[in-house]
Amino acid sequence: KNILIVPGDGIGQEVTEVGKNVLIKIAEKFGHEFSYDDALMGHVAIEATGNPLPDETLTKMRASDAILFGAVGHPKYDNDPTAKVRPEQGLLRMRKELGLYANLRPIKLFDELLGASSIKPEILKGSDILFFRELTGDIYFGEKGRKNDNNTAYDIAEYSRYEVERIGRKAFEAARTRSKKLCSVDKANVLETSRLWREVIQALAPEYPDIQVEHQFVDSAAMMLIKDPRRFDVVVTANLFGDILTDEASQIAGSMGMLASASIGDSTGVYEPIHGSAHDITGKGIANPLASVLSAALLLDISFGLKEESDAIIAAVDKLLKDGFRTRDIADSTTAADKLLNTETAG
Amino acid sequence: KNILIVPGDGIGQEVTEVGKNVLIKIAEKFGHEFSYDDALMGHVAIEATGNPLPDETLTKMRASDAILFGAVGHPKYDNDPTAKVRPEQGLLRMRKELGLYANLRPIKLFDELLGASSIKPEILKGSDILFFRELTGDIYFGEKGRKNDNNTAYDIAEYSRYEVERIGRKAFEAARTRSKKLCSVDKANVLETSRLWREVIQALAPEYPDIQVEHQFVDSAAMMLIKDPRRFDVVVTANLFGDILTDEASQIAGSMGMLASASIGDSTGVYEPIHGSAHDITGKGIANPLASVLSAALLLDISFGLKEESDAIIAAVDKLLKDGFRTRDIADSTTAADKLLNTETAG
Ligand SMILES: CC(C)[C@H](C(=O)O)[C@@H](O)C(=O)O
Ligand SMILES: CC(C)[C@H](C(=O)O)[C@@H](O)C(=O)O
């Protein structure tokens, strides 16, 4: 099996290194042969080639069996709204080119981190949500531009029945293996794309009579996620709403630094932390590498079907936390200084 | 002064009654003469006239000095994505016709409710955020429809420089009267409308050199609001992001049932709770009327310049809470049953 490592920008570099080391250790321990290659993407790729997703990277991606990804982004572009080339274009193009239409974001709280969240432990305890975020449609990929002499900007949101149906099915199927509850989030009281979304989910429901389906408006869901996270199990939603809700939901798990994601579709899968490049803490060695480590676990499970190996990683993370080791983002006042992890020591 | 009462649907009916009673009491106490009229909107208007915003209502609105509004919506339409006439069309048309481009949503926690939130008191204490949500543009008002034989849906998001500038100025001016910090929320790493938004806010900044401006991506803001609400003061954002973030932020104030909003623009202002029609609790007398009461306070302050009267209402709400009275949404385990408010007794 051939794994492509794409660290990208900022703390992506630091944390992906740790994720890769865990893959190497697991392969050793369980007697697998993985081969590794790496490639540039994002700001580092722009600096090297002028292109945030060089052809060489894309070719390597297509040839790989799975991709361990870091993050892309750089404040330089964020503060220049007129920049023509930006790191995120590489990310979006990768998602489109590889057909990664389903982004799975499991939000699960490690018991040890019950105190690390800003939400009360009694509200959080037992929370376990699996988000399915659609990843190749919506306002991310519709036509966008300027008109009226550069005085008006527009972005077109678009969904086809087919696009909603294929992510919908993935979510229904996952609900079957869990508590048989599916919550579809939209804004059908305002958006036509959401009305189509709701129509399609409603039309799929009779094929999954064992699943209890609920529809929620995105504003209300953003509120309920904090008020009562345990009422959610599998959640399916559009690209933009999924982006917002999963970042918000990271607080349920204590920190973004704990959350992994899997982007899957027609061929190779991409596994990455949901946190971004975080240039404010880059190079300080304080980034939480566990999201990348857990991304490696998702990779083994989903792309390679190596469930035991994946569970071994999760158990190791659990033990690490039980032993009291913490990065700053998940530290509580009782964490001893000698147990504050640096990214380098965490491998 | 002439106040139009538009209760709308669901609990809108119950809570607006309480808000109106408070206006009557305050006028009595301070010796003002307000006259009242009422009008239909939303589902009740569709039932009566076929139109969610009848011409008669719109005429009365234009003639009024201020509008106390309830909520619109009905599950009947939510579950039928193909419905052609819907209550929300009335709401959106009202906003557009009256030019209500600025929606102010103050999120302030009454000290007495520190325990009512799902967020830890030590994270919340002292939170005080003022949202400026743009209300007449974005994906809410762009062209929307179906194509490809009804198999594709689209919604166009659009912003002009002028639209961003006028809401931006309101927010900068408000920041001046508060802690001189402004956070503008967008998704400029993906959306062209957001890049225009950021350009315009950046261009305004030099005119307000005393204000410290920060730009945040909406996904990150959704996370930070829960992680560290005190880092926000004045927040300005687009229509859709504002819809999601303010509902989420309601948890900072303990409950949606506590939050009022003011929609202002070129002429008459509309004051309303941020909660919706909540048909699940309609008619049970358990809806929290305080959002409508606080909307009445905003009305007096913003539309009539009656600051003392407005403060008297807020002080009364504070006293009510100090005395231990609660509706169920803000009750904690220590609330005695005889202090559980019903909507009717709260007036
Ligand atoms: C970097 C950005 C374009 C991206 C997104 O919005 O999809 C990120 O926030 C994510 O969630 O992967
Ligand atoms: C009812 C709905 C159309 C409305 C909106 O999305 O603006 C509501 O959620 C609000 O926030 O006033």
Whether residues A200 and A263 fall in one domain: no
Whether residues A126 and A238 fall in one domain: yes
Ligand showing the shortest atom-to-Cα distance for residue A270: 1
Reported as type and span, the H/E element at residue B278 is none
CA distance A304 to chain B (A): 31
Please give the tally of structural domains in chain B: 2
Question: Rounded to the nearest 5°, which phi and psi values hold at A258?
Answer: -105, -5
Catalytically active residues of A are: 140, 187, 219, 243, 247
Q: Looking at ligand 1, which residue's alpha carbon is closest to its atom 2?
A: A88
Sort out which chain A residues have CB atoms less than 8 A from B148's CB and list them: 160
Whether residues B306 and B212 fall in one domain: no
Alpha carbons B86 and B81: distance in angstroms, whole number = 10
For chain A, the average pLDDT equals 93
Residue A149, helix vs strand vs coil: coil
pLDDT (mean) for A271-278 = 93
Residues A107-166 pLDDT 10s? 989 988 888 899 999 999 999 999 999 999 999 999 999 999 999 999 999 999 999 999
CA B312 to chain centre: 21
| B192 vs A144, A157, A246: nearest CB | A144
Pocket residues: Cβ below 6 A from ligand 2: A 189-190, 219; B 73, 88, 91, 243, 276
DSSP E strands: which ranges in chain A? 2-8, 35-38, 66-71, 102-108, 128-134, 144-147, 152-160, 181-186, 212-217, 234-237, 260-264, 269-273
Cβ contacts of A260 within 8 Å, gap of 6 or more: A105, A106, A271, A272, A273, A274, A291, A292, A294, A295, A297, A298
As to burial, measured by CB atoms within 10 angstroms (0-12 exposed, 13-18 middle, 19+ buried), residue B328 is middle
What pLDDT does A334 receive? 66
Question: What is the band of A45 on the pLDDT scale with cuts at 50, 70, 90?
Answer: very high
Whether residues A175 and A283 fall in one domain: no
Query: Which residue positions in chain B have pLDDT lower than 70?
Result: 333-337, 344-347
Site from A244, A329, A330 to mutate, B interface, most B CB atoms within 10 angstroms: A244
User: Binding site: which residues of B?
Assistant: 95, 105, 133, 219, 243, 247
Tell me the pTM.
0.94
Q: Looking at ligand 2, which residue's alpha carbon is closest to its atom 2?
A: B88
Whether residues A143 and A51 fall in one domain: no
Whether residues A140 and A180 fall in one domain: yes
Whether residues A133 and A187 fall in one domain: yes
Q: In B, residues 136-175, which contact A (CB 8 Å cutoff)?
A: 139-140, 142, 144-146, 148, 151-162
What pLDDT does A345 receive? 59
Alpha carbons B257 and B277: distance in angstroms, whole number = 11
Whether residues B121 and B246 fall in one domain: yes
What pLDDT does A267 receive? 85
Distance (angstroms) between ligand 1 centre and the Cα of A247 equals: 10
Alpha carbons B227 and A171: distance in angstroms, whole number = 28
Whether residues B121 and B102 fall in one domain: no
| B154 vs A77, A157, A244: nearest CB | A157
Ligand showing the shortest atom-to-Cα distance for residue A92: 1
| A256 vs B190, B223, B225: nearest CB | B223
Q: Which atom of ligand 1 is nearest to the CA of A272?
A: 12
Distance (angstroms) between ligand 1 centre and the Cα of A243 equals: 7
CA distance A193 to chain B (A): 5
Last residue of one domain, picked from the residues B227, B253, B279: B253
Reported as type and span, the H/E element at residue B181 is strand B181-186
What pLDDT does B260 receive? 96
User: Which CATH number goes with the domain that contains A275?
Assistant: 3.40.718.10
Question: What residue in B sits closest to A227 (Cα-Cα)?
Answer: B118
A254 close to A330: Cβ distance less than 8 angstroms: yes
Whether residues A228 and A159 fall in one domain: yes
Distance (angstroms) between ligand 2 centre and the Cα of B243 equals: 6
Q: Which residue range is the domain that position B130 belongs to? A: 117-253
- Residue in A305, A237, A293 with CA at minimum distance from that of residue A269: A305
Q: Looking at ligand 2, which residue's alpha carbon is closest to its atom 6?
A: B243
Last residue of one domain, picked from the residues B237, B253, B269: B253
Residue A46, helix vs strand vs coil: helix
Cβ contacts of A131 within 8 Å, gap of 6 or more: A103, A104, A105, A106, A107, A235, A236, A237, A242, A245, A246, A249
What pLDDT does A333 receive? 61
Does the structure show a pLDDT above 80 at A344?
no
Last residue of one domain, picked from the residues B222, B238, B253: B253
What pLDDT does B79 receive? 81
* Cross-chain Cβ contact A226/B251 below 8 Å: yes
Instruction: Quickly count: other Cβ atoms within 10 Å of residue B80's Cβ.
Output: 15
